[in-house]
């Protein structure tokens, strides 16, 4: 059950999970504060969230190409 929860959290809420694991903070509290800050600042942290999600995805592809010796 824990593996399933972790898989869903990483795929759906990857940025908050990544930050929580990196800073050793509860993922739920990061999400809660993100929602509070988004309401207070009228959604501007959403832009930062999308940027970090995009950057995490790019890092994944860069790491894949570094490990894979066969290039297209």
Whether 39 maps to a domain, the answer reads: yes
How many other CB atoms are there within 10 angstroms of residue 60's CB atom? 10
Whether 55 maps to a domain, the answer reads: yes
Whether 20 maps to a domain, the answer reads: yes
Whether 26 maps to a domain, the answer reads: yes
Angle of CA points 65, 69, 70, to nearest 5°: 90
- For the segment 43-62, what is each residue's pLDDT rounded down to a tens digit? 788 888 878 878 877 777 77
Please indicate, yes or no, whether the overall pTM of this predicted structure exceeds 0.75. Answer: no
**What's the pLDDT at 36?**
87
Domain that holds residue 37: 2-67
Whether 72 maps to a domain, the answer reads: no
Q: What's the total number of domains in the chain?
A: 1
Which of 70, 47, 68, 50 shows the shortest CA–CA distance to 58? 50
| CA torsion angle 26 28 34 40 (round to 10) | -120
The maximal CA–CA distance of the chain, rounded, in angstroms, is 48
Q: What is the mean pLDDT of residues 24-31?
A: 87
């Amino acid at each position: 059950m824990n593996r399933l929860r972790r898989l869903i959290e990483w795929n759906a809420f990857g940025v908050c999970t990544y930050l929580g694991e990196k800073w050793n903070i509860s993922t739920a509290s990061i999400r809660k504060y993100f929602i509070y800050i988004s309401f207070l600042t009228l959604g501007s942290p959403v832009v930062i969230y999308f940027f970090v999600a995009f950057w995490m995805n790019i890092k994944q592809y860069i790491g894949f190409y570094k490990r894979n010796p066969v290039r297209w």
